[in-house]
Structure 1
Amino acid sequence: MTPSDTARTDLLFYLQSARDALLWKLEGLPEYDVRRPLTPTGTNLLGLVKHAAGVELGYLGDTFGRPSGEPLPWLADGAEPNGDMWATAEESREDIIGLYRRAWAHADATIEALPLDTAGRVPWWPDGRDELTLHHAVVRVIADTHRHAGHADILRELMDGAVGMNETNTSLPSDDPAWWEAYRDRLERAAREA
């Protein structure tokens, strides 16, 4: 395996782990809970998935002359600001998850087809500062997706206590509610004492 093949394999692994973590946060929740705004800026689970789909299609498609053909009306000129961060009542969970899975396939095809040093041009960046390599674009998308998976992890924990990268990997030191209550109380005391 060449160093480029190893890098591509690593990039695809970490991108897919972020994708999977983001979608896992929707599992088992009713429609209202995947859509409802849980922060003052409206952050919601399904909106994070919708946003991630657009990011992948843009950075790992359009940027490299590989448009997907997927209609993204929330990104069109004159569209409502932040329209990619929430789902309308007409947009079903299945539609958005399907879009995201098609975005994965399209992005993965770009990553597999092009050398990592391929130069692309980001259409929404300013002229003269709009070029990047595929490697840079993939790292950017990985960072963005993991960031939003972290948002989703916090939102889901606030709803029903479900945490972690996936069902089998919480990365937490305990699953005992009493342990967590004592731990949180200790943190609260430390904060007050400070």
Structure 2
Amino acid sequence: MTASDPKADLRFYLQSARDALLWKLEGLPEYDIRRPSTPTGTNLLGLVKHAAGVELGYLGDTFGRPSGEPLPWLEDAAESDADMWATADESREYIVDLYRRAWAHADATIDALALDTIGKVPWWPSGRDEVTLHHAVVRVIADTHRHAGHADIIRELTDGAVGMSKGNDSMAPGGPEWWEKHRGRLERAAREAGRISRDSG
């Protein structure tokens, strides 16, 4: 067993979520990475844009390390949810490059500070705004993995592509015919459970 390295563990899981989020954009045209896929407008490129702001906020501003990146969609005058979608003028390249710069800035903060360093989250209420770097990194990991999961579902619904990461789809073996039968089996089980519930109620 190797010696514990908490920062390395945190960086590993943070990077795996970052990579997964960007991977879900690969091979899709502009429309498909931007189109709203849920009633609340969730979309692939917007998830990346949001994740960039989260990293720059929690792992930059919170610890007195502002990035200098202009993020007009996070200003007080911005419309609600402006960080969750990309305008036609905000290119894929711009959003992806911003996210990669956010990684670098966040990683520099993790490298420079001890995990028990205290920061202040600017948008949290005064008196309840202090947080350790460890807590902030865990929060960012949780948020990024959550949105990577959203991206998984959106991508599968868009073109059927699935997988956890490049070279590791983490899926049961089986072709389209197997998956069609599997889905049918789940549908039948759901209908049967619904019938049982109605009959026993």
Shorter-normalised TM-score: what interval? over 0.9
Structure-2-length-normalised TM-score: 0.94
Q: Which residue of 1 aligns with 2:198?
A: none
How far apart are the structure 2 equivalents of 1:8 and 1:51?
Answer: 24
Superposition map of 1:68-87 within 5 A = 68-87=67-86
1:122 aligns with 2:102: no
Q: Deviations over 1:91-128 (max 9, x none)?
A: 00000000000000000000000000000000000111
Structure-1-length-normalised TM-score: 0.97
Superposition map of 1:1-194 within 5 A = 3=4, 6-194=5-193
Q: Which residue of 1 aligns with 2:199?
A: none
Q: Deviations over 1:47-88 (max 9, x none)?
A: 000000000000000000000000000000111110000000
SS at match of 1:165: coil
SS at match of 2:62: helix
Residues matched between the structures, number: 192
Q: 1:180 to 1:122 in 2, by over 3 A?
A: same
How far apart are the structure 1 equivalents of 2:151 and 2:96?
Answer: 15
SS at match of 1:132: strand
How far apart are the structure 2 equivalents of 1:162 and 1:2?
Answer: 38
Structure 2, unpaired ranges of 5+: 194-201
How far apart are the structure 1 equivalents of 2:40 and 2:174?
Answer: 31
Report runs of 4+ in structure 1 exceeding 6 Å deviation.
Answer: none
**1:165 to partner: Cα distance:** 1.6
How far apart are the structure 2 equivalents of 1:162 and 1:169?
Answer: 13
Q: In 2, are the aligned partners of 1:174 and 1:180 still within 8 Å (CA)?
A: no
Select between 93-102 and 162-171 the one with higher mean Cα deviation. Answer: 162-171
RMSD between aligned alpha carbons? 1.0
How far apart are the structure 1 equivalents of 2:127 and 2:173?
Answer: 51
Letter in structure 2 aligned against 1:163 = V
Structure 1, unpaired ranges of 5+: none
**1:163 to partner: Cα distance:** 1.0
